[in-house]
Amino acid sequence: MRVAILGATQGMGRAIARLLAERGDQVFVLGIEPEELARTSADLQAHSPSHMPVGAALCDLADPSTFAAALDAAEADLGDVECVVVTAAIFATQDTLEEDLDRTELLLRLNFTNTVVFCEHVRRRLLQRGGGTLCVFSSVAGDRGRKPVVLYGAAKAGLSHYLEGLDHRHHEDGLRVITVKPGFVKTGMTAGLKPPPFAGEPVAVAASVVRAIDRGTPVVYAPGIWRLVMLVICALPRFIMRKVGF
Partner 1 sequence: MAGLGDQGQTIAGWGNIGVPGHEVLSERLERASADAVLSRGLGRSYGDSALPPPSSREVLGTRLADRILSFDPASGRLRAEAGLSLHELNRLLLRRGYFTPVTPGTQFVTLGGMVAADVHGKNHHVAGCFGSDHTRMVRLRVADGRILEVTRESHPDLFYATCGGMGLTGHILEVELDLKRIPSPWIYAESRRIADIDEFLAALAEYERFPYVVGWIDCLSRGRKMGRGILDGGRWATAAEAGAKPLPKVPSPSVPLMFPNWVLNDLTAKAFNTLYYWKHLAKEKKGLRHPDSFFYPLDMIRHWNRIYGRKGFTQYQCVIPEDSGRDGVVRFLEALTAMGGASFLCVIKSCGPESKGTLSFPRRGTTIALDIPARSGTQALVDALNRVLLDEGGRIYLAKDTFTRAEDFRRMDPRLEQFQAVRDVWDPERKLRSAQSVRLFGDPE
Binding site for partner 1 (CB under 8 A): 10-11, 14, 22, 39-40, 42-43, 45-47, 51, 186-188, 191-192, 194
Which of partner 1, ligand NAP, none is residue 62 near (CB under 5 to 8 Å by kind)?
ligand NAP
Residue of 180, 73, 189, 203 whose CA lies nearest to 125: 73
Which residues in 119-155 are b (16+ Cβ under 10 Å) and which e? beebbebbeeeeebbbbbbbbbbbbeebeebebbbbb
For position 31 contacting ligand NAP by CB under 6 A, the verdict is yes
- Strand ranges for 48-160 from DSSP E: 55-58, 83-86, 132-137
* Number of alpha carbons in the 13 Å side-chain half-sphere of residue 162: 22
Q: How far is the CB of 239 from ligand NAP (least distance, A)?
A: 27
Smaller CB distance to partner 1: residue 47 or 181?
Answer: 47
Which of partner 1, ligand NAP, none lies near 32, with the C-beta cut-off 5 to 8 A by kind? ligand NAP
Does 33 interact with ligand NAP (rule: CB under 6 A)?
yes
Q: Does 142 bind ligand NAP (CB under 6 A)?
A: no
Residue 7 near residue 86, CB atoms below 8 Å? yes
**Is 11 within 8 Å of 93 (Cβ atoms)?**
no
# of chain residues touching ligand NAP (CB under 6 A): 29
- Strands 219-222 and 2-6, by their bridges, are unpaired
Contact 128, 83 (CB under 8 A): no
Q: Does 226 contact ligand NAP by CB under 6 A?
A: no
Coil, strand or helix at 171: helix
Q: Which of residues 165-184 bind ligand NAP (CB under 6 A)?
A: 182, 184
Smaller CB separation from partner 1, 162 or 184: 184
Strands (E), the chain: 2-6, 26-31, 55-58, 83-86, 132-137, 175-182, 219-222
Beta carbon nearer to ligand NAP, 36 or 167: 36
Find the part of the chain contacting ligand NAP (CB under 6 A) among 72-80, 81-89, 121-129, 211-219.
81-89
**62 lies in the site for ligand NAP, by CB under 6 A:** yes
Cβ 88 to partner 1 shortest distance, Å = 14
Q: Which residues bind ligand NAP (CB under 6 A)?
A: 6-7, 9-13, 31-33, 36, 60-62, 87-91, 110, 137, 139, 182, 184-185, 187-190
